[in-house]
C-alpha cells in the first residue's frame, strides 16, 4: 500500500535520490546535501509549529510503499512564498500605441518583472518514480495536498499557486532562456537552475531587465513558448485546471512556463472533501477514495477501494487493514475525497 506521511531526517538518502532522478528544471529539489537537509529540517519544524496564519512554513511529504519501505515519491506545500526570499515572475500585459492622426492602433504584449505572488501558498515539489506512475498514484500525490489544506486552512493563504514547467527543446533546454542568457545573464541554464535551487536568487534582481520587455522584439522561438508547458507536464496542468486553477498571465522567468492559481476555498477537492467519523467494517467500495487522518505531525493518507461513504449514517466505512495503515480507529474523524476521474 502507498502511504503519504510527513518527511523526516531518516528520509534524506531517499530524497537525494529523488532529486537526482527528477533532473534539471526541478529547482525545488536541488542535488545539494546541505539544501536538502535544510528542507527536511524546515519541514519537520513546520509540522511541529503552532501557527495562527501562513508564514515561513514548508510542508514536505513522502510517499512510502509500505510493503518494501521504499520512498517512491514526494509532494509539498509552501505556506507563504516570497517572504524570506523574493519570488519573481514575468507578468504579461498589453499596452496600446495609438495615433488617431495616422489611424494606427497597435496592441503590443509586454513582460514585466514582478513579485505579485508574495504571500501566496504554493503547491510544489511533486515527483513520482516512473515505475509507480499507475493506478491513481499520480492523482493521489497531487490531490492529497488539498486534503491537508482542507484540514488546516488556517495554515495557508486563500490564494494558492502552482508553477508549471515550461517547454523545452530536444536538448532539454528552454528556448525562452537563450535570449535572456545572451542579453542579461551570460551564465548557462544549469548554473542558473542550480542557484535558484539552493536559494541564491540575488542575481535575478541584479541582472534581470528592470523595464517592461516588448514580446515582439524577442526571437520567434522564445515568443512561441510563452505560457506553454513541458510535454511531460501537460497531464499535471490538466488535473489542476480540473481543480479550478487558471492561468492569469504570470510566467516563469527562465522557461516561460505558466503559473496557475486558485482560491483555496474554491479548489474542487478542498470544497468536495468530507470530514466524518470512521466505522471499521468489511467493505469493498465501487469508487477509489483518498482518505486522510486529521493529525498534523502524524498525518497519514492513502487511497483504496477498501472504503465507502455511508451517506445515510454519515460515516466512512474502512476495512481494519486500511484503517490501521492510516492510524484510525472506530469513531475517529477522517477526511476523504473520491479519487476516480469524474
**Residue 74 in grid coordinates:** 514526494
How would residue 89 be classed by pLDDT, with cut points 50, 70 and 90? very high
Reference 244, options 227, 220, 278, 269; nearest CA is 269
Mean pLDDT over all residues of the chain? 92
pLDDT digits (tens, 9 = 90+) for 277-307: 999 999 887 899 999 999 999 999 999 999 9
> What ranges in the chain are assigned the alpha helix state H?
12-22, 33-48, 137-151, 175-180, 189-197, 202-207, 220-224, 234-243, 268-272, 320-325
Range(s) of the chain covered by CATH 3.40.630.30: 2-89+115-269
Neighbours of 201 (CB within 10 A): 16
pLDDT digits (tens, 9 = 90+) for 179-219: 888 888 777 777 777 777 666 777 777 888 889 999 999 99
**238 vs 171, more confident:** 238
Question: CATH number of the domain at 273-338, out of 2.40.40.20, 3.30.450.40, 1.10.620.20, 1.10.287.3510?
Answer: 2.40.40.20
- CA dist., res. 309 & res. 278, Å (int): 9
Reference 125, options 260, 25, 254, 250; nearest CA is 25
Model confidence at 87: pLDDT above 60: yes
pLDDT digits (tens, 9 = 90+) for 160-177: 999 999 998 887 788 898
Which pTM value belongs to this model? 0.91
Contact predicate 142/239, CB 8 Å: yes
How far are the Cα atoms of 96, 101, 217 from residue 104, in angstroms, in the given order?
10, 8, 19
Name the CATH superfamily housing domain 2-89+115-269.
Gcn5-related N-acetyltransferase (GNAT) (3.40.630.30)
- Judged by DSSP in three states, 177 sits in helix
Give bridge partners of residue 60 from the DSSP assignment: 76
**Residue 292 in grid coordinates:** 486522510
Reference 260, options 234, 224, 221; nearest CA is 234
Model confidence at 109: pLDDT above 90: yes
Using the structure block, give the residue that is written with the C-alpha cell 502552482: 162
CA dihedral 236, 248, 108, 90 (to 10 degrees): -80
Catalytic residue among 89, 194, 230, 247: 230
How would residue 25 be classed by pLDDT, with cut points 50, 70 and 90? low
Calculate mean pLDDT across residues 53-72.
96
Model confidence at 24: pLDDT above 70: no
Calculate mean pLDDT across residues 103-119.
94
Calculate mean pLDDT across residues 66-70.
93
**96 vs 28, more confident:** 96
247 catalytic? Reply is no
pLDDT above 70 as % of the chain: 97
Range(s) of the chain covered by CATH 2.40.40.20: 273-338
Amino acid at each position: 500500500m502507498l502511504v503519504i506521511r510527513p518527511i523526516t531526517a531518516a528520509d534524506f538518502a531517499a530524497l537525494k535520490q529523488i532529486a537526482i532522478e527528477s533532473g534539471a528544471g526541478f529547482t525545488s529539489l536541488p542535488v545539494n546535501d546541505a539544501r536538502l537537509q535544510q528542507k527536511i529540517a524546515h519541514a519537520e519544524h513546520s509540522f511541529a509549529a503552532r501557527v495562527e496564519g501562513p508564514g515561513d512554513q514548508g510542508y514536505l511529504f513522502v510517499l512510502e510503499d509500505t510493503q518494501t519501505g521504499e520512498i517512491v515519491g514526494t509532494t509539498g506545500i509552501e505556506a507563504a512564498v516570497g517572504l524570506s526570499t523574493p519570488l519573481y515572475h514575468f507578468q504579461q500585459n498589453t499596452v496600446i500605441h495609438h495615433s488617431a492622426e495616422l489611424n494606427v492602433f497597435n496592441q503590443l504584449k509586454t513582460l514585466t518583472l514582478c513579485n505579485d505572488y508574495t504571500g501566496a501558498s504554493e503547491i510544489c515539489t511533486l515527483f513520482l518514480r516512473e515505475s509507480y506512475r499507475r493506478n491513481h498514484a499520480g492523482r493521489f500525490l497531487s490531490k492529497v495536498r488539498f486534503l491537508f489544506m482542507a484540514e488546516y486552512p488556517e495554515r495557508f493563504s486563500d490564494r494558492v499557486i502552482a508553477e508549471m514547467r515550461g517547454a523545452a527543446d530536444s536538448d532539454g533546454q528552454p528556448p525562452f532562456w537563450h535570449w535572456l542568457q545572451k542579453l542579461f545573464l551570460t551564465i548557462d541554464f544549469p548554473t542558473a537552475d542550480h542557484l535558484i535551487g539552493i536559494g541564491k536568487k540575488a542575481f535575478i534582481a541584479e541582472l534581470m531587465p528592470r523595464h517592461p520587455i516588448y514580446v515582439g522584439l524577442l526571437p520567434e522561438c522564445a515568443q512561441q513558448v510563452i505560457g506553454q508547458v513541458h510535454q511531460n507536464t501537460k497531464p499535471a496542468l490538466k488535473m489542476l485546471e480540473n481543480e479550478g486553477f487558471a492561468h492569469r498571465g504570470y510566467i516563469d522567468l527562465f522557461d516561460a512556463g505558466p503559473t496557475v492559481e486558485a482560491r483555496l476555498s474554491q479548489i474542487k477537492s478542498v470544497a468536495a472533501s468530507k470530514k466524518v467519523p470512521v466505522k471499521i467494517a468489511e467493505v469493498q467500495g465501487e469508487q477509489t477514495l483518498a482518505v486522510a487522518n486529521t493529525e498534523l505531525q502524524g498525518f497519514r493518507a492513502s487511497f483504496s477501494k477498501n472504503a465507502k461513504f455511508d451517506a445515510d449514517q454519515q460515516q466512512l466505512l474502512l476495512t481494519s487493514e486500511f484503517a490501521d495503515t492510516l492510524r484510525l480507529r472506530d469513531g475517529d474523524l477522517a477526511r476523504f475525497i473520491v479519487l476516480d476521474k469524474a
